Amino acid sequence: MEQGSMEATNPNPSSMSGVAAASAAELLCCASARALLDSVDAFLFDCDGVIWKGDKLIDGVPQTLDMLRSKGKKLVFVTNNSTKSRIQYANKFQSLGLSVNQDEIFSSSFAAAMYLKVNQFPPHKKVYVIGGEGIVQELQLAGFTALGGPVGAVVVGLDPDINYYKLQYATLCIRENPGCLFIATNRDSVGHMTDLQEWPGAGCMVAAVCGSTEQEPIVVGKPSTFMMDFLLQKFNVSTSRMCMVGDRLDTDILFGQNAGCKTLLVLSGVTTQSTLDDPSNSIKPDYYTNKVSDILSLLGE
């Protein structure tokens, strides 16, 4: 991988309508579940709303993941939630009884650090973070410092402790420091912080900084395919032999489509059946189903 060879993108869902609306989504059935399994070597899973909601596993997930591993499928977990580092996510998986190692996890916090690394961000410059410990940890592991100055990049992710001072300082850095990068981990408007409610997502914090700086960020999380470059290097699987499984149309499914993967929408998270069927929705997955464990039941495993 050449240094500086990767660029994060900020695709506009409306510009993808010609691709996304090419065909209607198909409800997963026994035959299509079997065909999908046979045509895919790696399953990429979102986490919030797909594997768990808050700290509660969604029914049937452990058995489904075990079945896929027994069939020789590679499993990768690609999350836009930047509040945790990959190490912290591995610990969360373990606490929920799932055996997932750090190398199988690709978070937007990791993507932010890797974006700076591959684009040769000067090590003497500092990174100002609006976000959680996950971003700070990944920056430190990549050799960057999130305290002090001069600030050469501002990274904005989900921050439950967002306040006016943080917004003001980020705005000053982006507007006053020549060449200061404005990086967003993701632009999800809401997320499942608990198993019962959707809470404001990182997109709210990003929007605030966009408003005060009158600038658009570099987005490194889904639907940007920036993380896909690392996935391809790590697992050596063609994107045509991958299936992205997620609960959001504008991030998970669009990410899979942008990368050339097969796509499976689950209705256990943010997206509802009515949203999927809405005539104004131009993002159509290849397949959709209620929850991940439907794969298991449809295959009769």
Q: Which amino acids are annotated as binding site, given as ranges?
A: 46, 48, 222, 247
User: CA–CA separation, 255 vs 252, rounded Å?
Assistant: 5
3 state DSSP class of 78: strand
The secondary structure of residue 193, as a DSSP letter, is S
Residues that are catalytic = 46, 48
Binding annotation for substrate? 222
Mark out the alpha helices in 214-290 (DSSP H runs): 226-235, 254-259, 273-277
SS3 content of the chain, % helix, strand, coil (to 5): 40, 20, 40
In single-letter form, the type of residue at position 135 comes to I
CB neighbour class for 68 (10 Å; exposed up to 12, middle 13-18, buried from 19): buried
Question: Which residues does 166 contact at the CB level (< 8 Å), separation at least 6?
Answer: 130, 159
Residue 270: how many CB atoms within 10 A of its CB?
Answer: 24
Binding annotation for Mg(2+)? 46, 48, 247
Question: Which residues does 120 contact at the CB level (< 8 Å), separation at least 6?
Answer: 3, 4
